[in-house]
């Protein structure tokens, strides 16, 4: 049977950005979790200074830990803007320890803040994927959606108002035309004017729709 239990309170597992380090046991606030270690690079040595990777931990102007070695489990710890651990740096001892700054529950991912230099160089260009930043983005997306819906509703209301205005104008125009026709019909009283208006007036009067007719017999016949 494989030995599953370990004295270590963490394991490497899948995180949202690939791999990460997760607590397997409760870790008390202030407790040392794991050491960040690797060969010490001396910036005064050309060969050391030429080394470039994502796991360089700068202790001071001169010394840097190259944490890219496989044995350095701490290299799996992802960055977070609101972390539950921190990197405790002793430049004098050239030693870095990852320490809990909150009580960490089993299953929780262990994170620490990589610092502004790393953030600017590696995380800002691709967008930080930490829980706090994801939450912020989610909120921003929801706000953008709500704003879009608000604008759409406003545009629809405006369009409806415009349509109502156009319809009201058309109705008014029609009413005006009809009133004009009535007036014309009364005034003209079968003595001409526009044929349609004459028709309206004539229909109302119950006479032939031929106001231009000069034959009274025909009018009386149809009446």
State the residues that interact with Zn ion by CB under 5 A.
81, 128, 130, 133
Whole-number Å distance between alpha carbons of 90 and 11? 25
Exposure of 58 by Cβ count < 10 A (0-12 exposed, 13-18 middle, 19+ buried)? Answer: middle
Tokens of 13: 């597992």
Residue 41 CB, shortest distance to Zn ion, in Å, is 27
Residue 212 near residue 198 (C-beta atoms within 8 A): yes
Residue whose CB is less far from Zn ion, 104 or 128: 128
Exposure of 63 by Cβ count < 10 A (0-12 exposed, 13-18 middle, 19+ buried)? Answer: middle
Distance of CA 188 to the CA centre of its chain: 69
Name the one residue in this structure whose structure tokens are 């830990």: 65
Residue whose CB is less far from Zn ion, 64 or 78: 78
Residue whose CB is less far from Zn ion, 48 or 113: 113
Residue whose CB is less far from Zn ion, 63 or 119: 119
Residue 131 CB, shortest distance to Zn ion, in Å, is 8
**What b/e readout covers 22-52, taking b as 16+ CB neighbours within 10 angstroms?**
bbbeebeeeeebbebbbeebeeeeeebeeee
Q: Tell which residue, 52, 12, 53, has the closest CA to residue 34.
A: 12
Residue 4 CB, shortest distance to Zn ion, in Å, is 32
Residue 85 CB, shortest distance to Zn ion, in Å, is 15
Residue whose CB is less far from Zn ion, 133 or 188: 133
Residue 38 CB, shortest distance to Zn ion, in Å, is 25
Residue 113 CB, shortest distance to Zn ion, in Å, is 9
Residue whose CB is less far from Zn ion, 88 or 113: 113
Phi-psi region for residue 95, left (φ > 0), alpha (ψ -120 to 50) or beta? beta
């Amino acid at each position: 049977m494989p030995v599953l239990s370990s004295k270590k309170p963490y394991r490497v597992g899948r995180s949202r950005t690939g791999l990460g380090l997760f607590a397997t046991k409760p870790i008390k606030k202030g407790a040392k979790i794991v050491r960040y270690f690797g060969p010490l690079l001396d910036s005064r040595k050309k060969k050391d200074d030429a080394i470039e990777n994502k796991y360089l931990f700068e202790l001071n102007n001169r010394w840097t830990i190259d944490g890219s070695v496989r044995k350095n489990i701490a290299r799996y710890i992802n960055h977070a803007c609101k972390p539950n651990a921190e990197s405790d740096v002793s430049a004098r001892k050239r030693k870095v320890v990852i320490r809990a700054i909150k009580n960490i529950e089993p299953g929780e991912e262990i994170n620490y803040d990589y610092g502004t230099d790393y953030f600017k160089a590696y995380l800002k260009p691709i967008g930080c994927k930490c829980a706090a930043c994801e939450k912020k983005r989610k909120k921003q997306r929801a706000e953008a959606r709500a704003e879009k819906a608000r604008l759409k509703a406003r545009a629809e209301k405006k369009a409806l108002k415009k349509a109502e205005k156009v319809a009201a104008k058309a109705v008014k125009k029609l009413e005006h035309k009809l009133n004009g026709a009535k007036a014309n019909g009364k005034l003209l009283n079968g003595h001409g004017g526009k044929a349609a208006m004459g028709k309206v007036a004539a229909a109302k009067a119950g006479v032939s729709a031929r106001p231009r007719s000069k034959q009274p017999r025909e009018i009386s016949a149809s009446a």
